[in-house]
Amino acid sequence: MLCKSILSAAVLASSAFARPASQLPADGFPNPDAKQLSAISGEADGTLPNGPPPPTLNASSIPIFQLINFNENFEVAFFNSLIHNITTGVSGFQIPFDQEKKALLSVLRTVLAQEELHSINAAGVISHFGGVVPAPCVYKFPTTDVIGAISLAETFTSLVLGTLQDASEGLSINGDHGPVRAVGSVIGQEGEQTGYFRSLLNARPSEKPFLTTSLAEFAFSALQDFIVSCPFDIASTIPIPIHPTIAVLNDSSVAVKNESLTFTADLTNVSAAQPFYGNAGAVDMGLFMTYFTGQDAPLSMPVTNASWTGNVLTFTAAFPYHEYVMDGLTIGALTTSGNLSSPAAVGAATLAAPALINLANHIV
Ligand SMILES: *[C@@H]1O[C@H](CO)[C@@H](O)[C@H](O)[C@H]1NC(C)=O
Ligand SMILES: *[C@@H]1O[C@H](CO)[C@@H](O)[C@H](O)[C@H]1NC(C)=O
Ligand SMILES: *[C@@H]1O[C@H](CO)[C@@H](O)[C@H](O)[C@H]1NC(C)=O
Ligand SMILES: *[C@@H]1O[C@H](CO)[C@@H](O)[C@H](O)[C@H]1NC(C)=O
Ligand SMILES: *[C@@H]1O[C@H](CO)[C@@H](O)[C@H](O)[C@H]1NC(C)=O
Ligand SMILES: *[C@@H]1O[C@H](CO)[C@@H](O)[C@H](O)[C@H]1NC(C)=O
Ligand SMILES: *[C@@H]1O[C@H](CO)[C@@H](O)[C@H](O)[C@H]1NC(C)=O
């Protein structure tokens, strides 16, 4: 029997954030000297790409590498915190079996070092072409136990896998074929990580035949929820739109069975949402929940049962799980159109995003 469950939408919506004491690994990251870099490479089971950079880079491609770097810096802090918690036996992170603990820590240390090299590589591209490298920020993590943390890691890595598709397409549109090969190598690398995380969660390692796509602005928006503060002004340094994120409410595994979900988003600072403020209850209010699942065309469902608390919109939308076989990650956006033909068109019509709905088919 297949058991559907939400891997981590609930954790992402949690407000029980706490800020760990030390966030960056003590190995020279993000600016290791040659000796430190060699130690990180040893832990990562490989080196940075050592070929020359591409001769030119379109200025439009700089934000692509800024987002990759910004995301990897968060991942470095997250995995460093997780390793610290497991190593020191923080409550919720105690693993009683010594061999299991050693094995998990060994994998996570390698993942951490690999994420450090992803970050350093993106920073190298940005600085080589005169862009501003985003320094690591101070982060907050919503997770308080090892399963929750692995679930969250699985979800944000899946989101990254979709976002790197957008990065590859963006580089191609910008005429920058040079870095596409390296980005492709990272897509596979991060997919190996999710396969391992999914196995730990008793889900099948390979998520979908075609992994769910995403947009740079959706990953960038989701990351904002983990930021306490950054040593630079985010909006003026990285020119990618930021949307309010959407929380998935209630026991979603029940809702999924019923094929509808309840969502909420704070649209306070969204000027395009102003015409909709207070427009409650209507079934044809002109708003849609638009899903990315796999490589399917954007799938739009009308917003129903809307209610407002101030500028916070709560609403229901169908989640046609069976018809579209929506296992794994589905990414939702609140949009002003229900007829969107491409991911880019979804971004242009978005009021809030992403909603992250991550369903696991557990191994029986
Ligand atoms: C590490 O433990 C602290 C304290 O419980 C917690 O706040 C933090 O979220 C944990 N880190 C991760 C990555 O789960
Ligand atoms: C740079 O990227 C922009 C935006 O995609 C594109 O319009 C322009 O043609 C690109 N320039 C070159 C030289 O390819
Ligand atoms: C969903 O959750 C909200 C707040 O957490 C609660 O007020 C509401 O009653 C729940 N709705 C259902 C249908 O369970
Ligand atoms: C499914 O939704 C209906 C209302 O549409 C509700 O009566 C029923 O309790 C729900 N099923 C479960 C398992 O919660
Ligand atoms: C709206 O913008 C103001 C000013 O930048 C900010 O203080 C506030 O937190 C924002 N509110 C939301 C819900 O984003
Ligand atoms: C509509 O929302 C109300 C509360 O806001 C809830 O009690 C009711 O079950 C919802 N109906 C549907 C069809 O989701
Ligand atoms: C959907 O958009 C396409 C163009 O993108 C247009 O040809 C078509 O008529 C639209 N369909 C509806 C139902 O609005």
**CATH number of the domain that 175 lies in?**
1.20.1260.10
Q: What pLDDT shows up at residue 279?
A: 86
- Residue 27 clears pLDDT 90, i.e. is over it: yes
Contacts of 342 (CB under 8 A, 6+ apart): 298
End-to-end Cα distance, the chain: 7
Tell me the average pLDDT across 210-238. Answer: 97
Contact 211, 299 (CB under 8 A): no
Residue 242 domain-assigned (yes or no): no
Write out the chain in H/E/C secondary structure.
Answer: CCCEEECCHHHHHCCCCECCCCCCCCCCCCCCCHHHHHHHHHHHCCCCCCCCCCCCCCHHHHHHHHHHHHHHHHHHHHHHHHHHHHHHCCCCCCCCCHHHHHHHHHHHHHHHHHHHHHHHHHHHHHHHCCCCCCCCCEECECCCCHHHHHHHHHHHHHHHHHHHHHHHHHHHHCCCCCCHHHHHHHHHHHHHHHHHHHHHCCECCCCCCCCCCCCHHHHHHHHHCCEEECCCCHHHHCCCCCCCCCEEECCHHHHHHCCEEEEEEECCCCHHHHHHCCCCCCCCCCCEEEEEECCCCCEEEECEEEEEECCEEEEEEECCHHHHCCCEEEEEEEECCCCCCCHHHHHHCEEEEEEEEEEEEECC
Q: From 181, 203, 237, give the residue that closes a domain.
A: 237
- Which are the contacts of 323, defined by CB distance < 8 A and separation ≥ 6? none
User: What is the per-residue pLDDT for 362?
Assistant: 74
Cβ 342 under 6 angstroms from ligand 7: no
Ligand 1 near 276 CB (within 6 A): no
- For the stretch 92-141, pLDDT in tens is 999 999 999 999 999 999 999 999 999 999 999 999 999 999 999 999 99
For residue range 235-257, list pLDDT tens digits in order: 999 999 999 999 998 655 656 66
- Domain match, 173 and 279 both: no
pLDDT, residue 280, reads: 79
Tokens of 13: 């919506």
Find out whether 279 and 331 touch, Cβ atoms under 8 Å.
no
* Cα 165 off chain centre by: 13
Could you give the number of structural domains in the chain?
A: 2
The CATH number that applies at residue 333 is 2.60.40
- Which of 192, 207, 237 terminates a domain? The answer is 237
- Is 121 contained in some domain? yes
Tell whether ligand 5 has an atom less than 6 A from the beta carbon of residue 266.
yes
* Final residue of a structural domain among 237, 270, 292: 237
53 and 99, same domain (yes or no): yes
Q: Which ligand is nearest to the CA of 169?
A: 2
- The average pLDDT across 194-219 equals 96
- Which of 250, 305, 315 is the pocket-test mutation for ligand 6 (most atoms within 8 Å of CB)? 305
Same domain? 213 vs 81:
yes
What residue numbers bound the domain in which 175 lies?
8-237
Of all residues in the chain, what percent carry a pLDDT higher than 70?
91
The per-residue pLDDT for range 141-175, each reduced to its tens digit, is 999 999 999 999 999 999 999 999 999 999 999 99
pTM: 0.90
The pLDDT tens digits of the residues spanning 261-279 come to 999 999 999 999 999 998 8
Is a pLDDT exceeding 80 seen at residue 2? no
Query: Is residue 272 located within the same domain as residue 151?
Result: no
CA of 259 to the centre of ligand 3 (A): 16
* Pocket of ligand 5 contains residue 47 by CB under 6 Å: no
The contacts of residue 337 (CB under 8 Å, 6+ apart) are 288, 300, 345, 349
Nearest-angstrom CA–CA distance, 125 and 51: 12
